């Protein structure tokens, strides 16, 4: 959870618009081992120029992708929406 707090803070400072969280974090596992994240980049440059570098460097257990609207729509609508066996799975969206 601490890593997600870090991510949300950085995403806001970077001017990101939306964050979708996936992976074992959104399951009923007591101790999730990974968090898959996709961030929709804003139209404006980052409010703090160092944050984009920090976002791309990431943290252990966070797989972070910063993408444009087209890639965001595909990731959320297809890749994040179903497991390898095509069973639908959950996501959490944060509007920044």
| Cα gap 39→87, rounded to integer Å | 23
Per-residue pLDDT at 58: 73
The domain spanning residue 73 has which CATH number? 3.30.460
pLDDT tens-digit readout, 11-33: 888 888 999 998 777 777 777 77
Per-residue pLDDT at 71: 94
Residue 78 has pLDDT above 90, yes or no: no
Quick one: which of 33, 85, 35, 96 has its CA closest to 65? 35
Residue 85 in tokens: 């066996």
Per-residue pLDDT at 47: 67
SS3 94: strand
Q: Give the list of residues 6+ apart from residue 6 with CB closer than 8 angstroms, or none.
A: 59
CA of 34: how far to CAs of 3, 27, 64, 82, in Å? Answer: 11, 11, 11, 16
Give me the domain span that covers residue 74: 2-95
User: Which position has the higher pLDDT, 60 or 91?
Assistant: 91
Domain count, the chain: 1
């Amino acid at each position: 959870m601490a890593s997600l707090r870090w991510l949300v803070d950085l995403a806001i400072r970077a001017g990101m618009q939306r964050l979708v969280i996936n992976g074992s974090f959104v399951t009923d596992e007591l101790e999730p081992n990974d968090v898959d994240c996709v961030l929709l980049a804003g139209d404006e440059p980052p409010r703090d120029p160092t944050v984009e570098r920090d976002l791309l460097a990431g943290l252990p257990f966070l797989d972070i992708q910063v993408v444009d609207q087209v890639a965001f729509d595909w990731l959320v609508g297809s890749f994040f929406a179903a497991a390898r066996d095509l069973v639908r799975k959950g996501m959490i969206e944060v509007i920044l």
